[in-house]
């Protein structure tokens, strides 16, 4: 996941733009919301969210840590209506990596290391096989159908 800025309320608050407020939520993730939406058009909200994202990135947070959302599925209203009901809620989250994302990144790194080792072993084995063939051919170079010499090649690792 790389080196990223520590996610805490103080660090995120340093990057807050005017009109935004930050609250720490369960698990230590930080939620950024508008102080008020009064008088803001949909474009104003989107532009402000993009500007806030840029400010967070300039403050040292990464794209992986920042998530924006414009609405959320309201489970209570959805249950009552019998279908999905979405409630407007323009919000930016600065999140700690999920354990499963960390595990996936670690597994990918380990897999890349194993692949590199296998490639190295494959190249080494190709060299060993070429040397064995060259040695066998060099030893058999004197054996031709006209000389009648018999060539025996002994190896601990038969091909």
Helix (H, G, I), strand (E, B) or coil at 92: strand
pLDDT of residue 5: 80
The DSSP bridge partners found for residue 86 are 73
pLDDT of 153 reads: 61
CB 34 within 8 A of CB 45: yes
Q: Does domain 9-97 have CATH number 3.50.50?
A: no
pLDDT of residue 145: 54
Six-digit token pair at 154? 């002994």
Mean pLDDT by runs of 10 across the 159 residues of the chain is: 75 95 93 95 96 96 93 90 91 88 84 90 84 79 58 63
């Amino acid at each position: 996941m790389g080196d990223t800025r520590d996610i805490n309320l103080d660090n995120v608050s340093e990057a807050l733009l005017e009109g935004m407020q930050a609250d720490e939520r369960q698990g230590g993730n930080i939620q950024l919301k508008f102080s008020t939406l009064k008088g803001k058009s949909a474009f104003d909200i989107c532009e402000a969210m993009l500007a806030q994202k840029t400010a967070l990135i300039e403050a040292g947070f990464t794209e992986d840590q920042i998530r924006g959302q414009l609405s959320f599925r309201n489970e209570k209203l959805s249950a009552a209506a019998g279908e999905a009901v979405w409630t407007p809620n323009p919000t930016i989250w600065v999140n700690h990596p999920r354990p499963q994302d960390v595990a996936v990144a670690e597994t990918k790194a380990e897999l890349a290391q194993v692949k590199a080792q296998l490639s190295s072993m494959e190249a080494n084995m190709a060299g060993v096989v070429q040397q064995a063939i060259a040695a066998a051919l060099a030893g058999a170079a004197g054996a031709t159908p006209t000389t009648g010499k018999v060539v025996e090649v002994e190896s601990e690792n038969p091909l």
